[in-house]
Amino acid sequence: MTTPRKAPSFELIAINGPTGQLECLRLPSALEHTVGIVLVAHPNPTEGGTFNNKIVHTLAKTLSRLGYIAYCPNLRGVGHSAGAFENGVGEVDDMAAVLAFARAENPTLTRLTLAGFSFGTFVQSQLRQRLSDDEVEGMILIGPAVSRHNFPPVPNHSTLLIHGEEDEVISLATVLNWARPQSLPVVVFPGVGHYFHGKLTQLADWINKEWRNRS
């Protein structure tokens, strides 16, 4: 039986990426036993998105409480990470490097969740295309930026997609139009905008409810 321990703190680490070092926040499992790895991708850096985003931290902390070790990198050109912004093209290579690092650090962990917010969901959906079904247990996509990028399809049986009804950046209608051909369910938070202001606790509770049976 896994038991909670003292809440862990984010640790700042450096990872060798394709264009140089990437700075990354690592959050250990809040349980004595670590069950898996979660990678969390931040929103658009041209609009201020970094690994310090509140939804990024909400994702990491929620999964940490379920026994995952979380890796939240600043992708190329963000913060002190090397390189320049590539609108999601080169960033997927950065995330792949973070995955390789995480696997090397945790060679016995086989369970992997890919999570992201806004622009970060585009990065993760591309990374998912590179991985086999038995490598990824699921995806958590918050406010996917489907109107800004050419998103590939994602597995409908293992993806949790959450969107705000009143999202002012990516309209709910656009997300539904993307999800519909994939038969991909969409969890809609009524009256909520893109950044889930005032609803982060509810967001964490919902993710915990959906993911806890996997841990």
Sorted by where each begins, the domain ranges of the chain are 12-214
Beta-ladder partners of 194: none
Residue 27 has pLDDT above 70, yes or no: yes
Q: What is the mean pLDDT of residues 101-113?
A: 97
Joined together, the tokens standing for residue 71 give: 């890796």
For CA atoms 104, 106, 109, 112, the dihedral sign is: negative
Average pLDDT score, the chain: 95
Query: Which residues touch 158 (CB under 8 Å, ≥6 apart)?
Result: 136, 137, 138, 139
Q: In the prediction, which pLDDT does 149 show? A: 79
Q: What is the mean pLDDT of residues 99-111?
A: 97
Q: Domain 12-214: which topology?
A: Rossmann fold (3.40.50)
Residue 33 has pLDDT above 90, yes or no: yes
**d(Cα 12, Cα 47) in Å, to the nearest integer?**
23
- Cβ atoms 43, 49 nearer than 8 A: yes
pLDDT digits (tens, 9 = 90+) for 175-186: 999 999 999 999
